[in-house]
């Protein structure tokens, strides 16, 4: 009877090690996928940041943006942006300039 108990514990231990190895492999695969996603999104101007607190919205603390580095500066003023899309909208709305640098002509009203 004691022999069967030890065999059962041995089987459980082997299964635990097997599951642990599978969990490590899954964690490695997940890290690799996140790294690939991060590189792909970086080409579009996005940045993948880890979520430190699951209870709060990512990148926000008290309504203020946190963790975003504003590296893009408007060529017409001192305003900085973390992503090209808001800068493009700012240029169109504030300076009446399209992304290509051409001034946007206004339509004549009749």
Look up residue 1 and give its two tokens: 């009877």
- In this predicted model, what pLDDT tens digit does every residue of 17-55 receive, in sequence order? 999 999 999 999 999 998 888 888 887 778 777 776 545
- In this predicted model, what pLDDT tens digit does every residue of 55-81 receive, in sequence order? 555 444 444 555 668 788 998 898 998
Asked, for residue 53, whether it belongs to a domain, the answer is: no
**Tokens 């430190």 belong to which residue?**
52
Asked, for residue 60, whether it belongs to a domain, the answer is: no
Pairwise CA distance, residues 85 & 73, whole Å: 12
Q: Which pLDDT belongs to residue 17?
A: 94
pLDDT band at 105 (very low <50, low <70, confident <90, very high): low
Asked, for residue 82, whether it belongs to a domain, the answer is: yes
Asked, for residue 25, whether it belongs to a domain, the answer is: yes
Asked, for residue 76, whether it belongs to a domain, the answer is: yes
Whether residue 80 contacts residue 70, with contact meaning beta carbons closer than 8 Å, is answered with yes
The model carries a pTM of 0.41
Q: Which pLDDT belongs to residue 24?
A: 95
Per DSSP, what are the bridge partners of residue 97?
103
Q: CB-based burial of residue 46 (10 Å sphere; 0-12 exposed, 13-18 middle, 19+ buried)? A: middle
**CATH number, domain with residue 86:** 3.30.160
Asked, for residue 93, whether it belongs to a domain, the answer is: yes
Q: Which range of residues forms the domain containing residue 32?
A: 11-44
Asked, for residue 99, whether it belongs to a domain, the answer is: yes
Number of separate domains in the chain? 2
* Pairing assessment for the beta strands 72-73 and 80-81 based on DSSP bridges: antiparallel
Pairwise CA distance, residues 71 & 83, whole Å: 8
Asked, for residue 85, whether it belongs to a domain, the answer is: yes
Look up residue 72 and give its two tokens: 């893009």
């Amino acid at each position: 009877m004691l022999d069967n108990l030890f065999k059962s514990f041995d089987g459980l231990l082997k299964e635990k090690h097997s599951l642990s190895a599978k969990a490590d492999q899954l964690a490695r695969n997940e890290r690799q996928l996140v790294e690939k996603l991060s590189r792909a999104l970086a080409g579009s101007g996005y940045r993948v940041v880890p979520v430190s607190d699951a209870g709060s919205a990512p990148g926000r603390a008290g309504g203020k943006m946190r963790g975003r580095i504003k590296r893009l500066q408007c060529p017409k003023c001192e305003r900085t942006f973390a992503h090209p899309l808001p800068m493009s909208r700012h240029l169109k709305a504030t300076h009446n300039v399209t992304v290509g640098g051409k001034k946007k002509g206004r339509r004549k009203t009749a």
